[in-house]
Amino acid sequence: MLTNRQEKLLNFLVKEYINTAEPVGSLALKKICDLDVSGATIRNDLQVLAEEGYITQPHTSAGRIPTKKAYRYFSEKYFPENFITRQIRLAHEEMAREMQQMQELMQILENDNIFEILITIETWHKKNQN
């Protein structure tokens, strides 16, 4: 079970690593998190997070990077399943609409009616510019 401070550190570490793609050091976390604790306290919390499998340190002098467990924790905490499920459903619906449009376009192309083809392409193009 993570403490509030450890959770906050993990949250900022994951965000910072996503933004920079560089290992995050304890001094950087101290500045980012604006916690009223010493660097040693932050390093102790980072050690706990490492022991729990949330972060790893590429080598001794490097900062820390999140593990899959950290990303999973982060995504489950800040993006509830219903949000993710809804996003997947919306993407699926959009893909289905696009496929329907493509099927309609293919049917028109098979008819060899150039006027109808041009109107369809223009309509599809205008629709996809927005």
CATH number at residue 39: 1.10.10.10
Report pTM.
Answer: 0.59
Residue 15 shares a structural domain with residue 74: yes
For residues 46 and 64, the answer to whether their CB atoms sit within 8 Å is yes
pLDDT band at 65 (very low <50, low <70, confident <90, very high): very high
Residue 44 shares a structural domain with residue 101: no
Residue 35 shares a structural domain with residue 59: yes
Interhelix angle 39-51/4-20, nearest 10 degrees: 90
Residue 85 shares a structural domain with residue 66: no
**Residue 73, pLDDT score:** 87
- Mean of pLDDT over the chain: 84
Residue 51 shares a structural domain with residue 71: yes
Residue 64 shares a structural domain with residue 18: yes
pLDDT tens by residue, 66-91? 999 998 888 877 776 677 778 888 89
Residue 73 shares a structural domain with residue 10: yes
Q: What's the count of helices (H) and strands (E) in the chain, helices before strands? A: 6, 2
User: Of the candidates 11, 46, 54, 55, which has an alpha carbon nearest to the alpha carbon of residue 26?
Assistant: 46
Residue 73 shares a structural domain with residue 88: no
Domain finish residue from 78, 99, 117: 78
pLDDT band at 32 (very low <50, low <70, confident <90, very high): confident
Phi, psi of 128 (to 5 degrees): -85, -5
Residue 19 shares a structural domain with residue 66: yes
Domain with 49, as residue range(s), is 4-78
Percent of the chain with pLDDT strictly greater than 90: 22
Residue 58 shares a structural domain with residue 106: no
Residue 55 shares a structural domain with residue 21: yes
Residue 87 shares a structural domain with residue 74: no
Q: Is the pLDDT of residue 130 over 70?
A: no
For residues 6 and 48, the answer to whether their CB atoms sit within 8 Å is yes
Choice between 123 and 68, residue whose per-residue pLDDT is larger: 68
The number of folded domains in the chain is 2
